[in-house]
Structure 1
Amino acid sequence: MSWHRAAVIGASGGIGAALCDALEARGCEVVRFNRSGENAIDLSDEASIAAAADGMRDSPPDLVLVASGVLHVEGAGPEKSFRDLSPDQLAAYFAINAAGPALVAKHFLPLFPRDSRAAFAAIGARVGSITDNGLGGWYGYRASKAALAMLVKTLSIELGRTHKQALCVALHPGTVDTKLSEPFQGNVPEGKLFTPEKSAGAMLDVLDGLGPQDSGGHFAWDGQRIAP
């Protein structure tokens, strides 16, 4: 399944740029949104999100991808213990990883066609699975990605009432070799560190194979459904 026009939020990041390039290689027109520049979106500024969506009203997308996210808050590492918890740090995780994508959905989902296929996808994370959490730690990142999964599920229910062919999902990219993950790559098993290009291609392949019956789900790069 090919997409006709995509809006990619976080297009300057490693995964976001790779998603844009892969979509264009598949014949999709891509509008790239970054924190600054001509197509600017700041996930912490709802007005900028609303303005970006309004700018696509005349030529709406059938695919919206939110590739922005934070793995750790600037100036602080991931919380290894509850003793490291900080309200400001937790708020920063939730603002970008959960509230930001939800606000993108708020303003972009109304642009979707009602009579044809469309998709909203946000970058999730396996560590956001409550079921899969056997190690602990990384409180803010885990919790914000778990919140994202719930938001995606809830969005999918409402979207499905009016857009029968649309889907709303979270996509786990695997561990990707980007500046974001560079400080934490030491414990990645051999063969499990992906290039942005490999991860982007795999996620798009998964997305192409999903249908409305899969809406609300959280899927890994290899197509496996991730348990909540």
Structure 2
Amino acid sequence: MSKPWALVTPASRGIGLQLARHLLKNTDVPVVATARKALDTTRSHILDGLDVDEERLQVLQLDVTDESTIAATAAKTSSLYPSSSHHLRLAFCIPGILYPEKSPQQIDPENSLQMLKINLLGPLLLSKHLTTLLPRKSSSVNPHPNLPPTATLALMAARVGSTSDNSLGGWYTYRASKAGVISLAKSVDIYLQQRCGEKAMCVALHPGTVKTDLSKEFWAGVPKEKLFNGDDAAEKLCGVLEGLGVKGRGRCWDWKGAEILP
């Protein structure tokens, strides 16, 4: 029987840090977390206060703007958890950066390129290397407590990436990058249907407004009941994936489990 493991990239702070902690606390599977730098610090922050087997956590160096580090992480995890006996059950791919653009005149080419590289090209390259670690049609995969019933590659989108929901405009590059993630999730999922059947799927997620550095400028305008701490967001997103099932594949889902249309 193939044994599951999980991955969160990046996991040095914010939602990623809390997702890694949530998986360590609520499952018994190995967890791989990544960071661009300060790996020991990231490991310390993830494990802080947790009563878990620390050997379950691996922290690897990964920069989504450098494909060689993504390939190296995939190779290392393949060595740690070989496909002959293991499979990637849940991968959160959540790189993100935001430079506000309230009017077209505020668009800066360097900032826009950075957002596209991290928010869209990052998940694209992660998908390239991580899809090979998901179970194949022939894999023997059983249900596992507090994990999705279907192996899941989860990409971080946002409600502002929905073209049909866009009534305010603004945030031009950020919107475009997140719209791209929603489209990417659909395309990657079609590939996984062909390669993995119902054993693996790809979805996009919207976590709501979370108290992270990325969203700090917008906290004041968000109702208290819709402004989440990182641990709240992690619990809600994992809960959505646990209950989604293969029928939810290829689409974008928010923290309540409601679909966000493209």
Match of 2:96 among 64, 69, 93: 69
CA drift at 1:214: 1.6
CA drift at 1:123: 1.3
When the two chains are superposed, the root-mean-square deviation of aligned CA atoms in Å is 1.4
Tell me, in whole angstroms, the C-alpha distance in 2 between the residues paired with 1:197 and 1:86.
33
TM score, norm. by length of structure 1: 0.93
Paired amino acid for 1:91: L
**Cross-structure match for 2:190:** 157
Deviating more after overlay: 31-40 vs 152-161: 31-40
Tell me, in whole angstroms, the C-alpha distance in 2 between the residues paired with 1:34 and 1:166.
25
Tell me, in whole angstroms, the C-alpha distance in 2 between the residues paired with 1:25 and 1:4.
16
Paired amino acid for 1:196: G
Q: Are 1:40 and 1:48, in contact at CA under 8 Å, matched by a contact in 2? A: yes
Structure 1 residues 28-47: aligned runs within 5 Å: 28-36=29-37, 37=39, 39-47=60-68
Paired amino acid for 1:98: L
Q: Percent identity, aligned pairs only?
A: 41
Q: Are 1:13 and 1:68, in contact at CA under 8 Å, matched by a contact in 2? A: no
Aligned-partner SS, 2:61: coil
Tell me, in whole angstroms, the C-alpha distance in 2 between the residues paired with 1:195 and 1:23.
16
The structure having more radius of gyration, on CA atoms, is 2
TM score, norm. by length of structure 2: 0.81
CA drift at 1:90: 1.6
**Cross-structure match for 1:118:** 151
Unpaired runs of 5+ in structure 2? 40-58, 82-86, 142-149
Unpaired runs of 5+ in structure 1? 73-77
Tell me, in whole angstroms, the C-alpha distance in 1 between the residues paired with 2:101 and 2:212.
21
Aligned-partner SS, 1:39: strand
C-alpha deviations, 1:105-127, integer Å up to 9, x for none? 10011011113331100111001
Match of 1:203 among 237, 258, 261: 237
C-alpha deviations, 1:46-74, integer Å up to 9, x for none? 010000001011304221111221122xx
Q: Are 1:167 and 1:211, in contact at CA under 8 Å, matched by a contact in 2? A: no
Moved segments of 4+, more than 3 Å: none
**Cross-structure match for 2:25:** 25
Alignment of 1:136 onto 2:169: yes
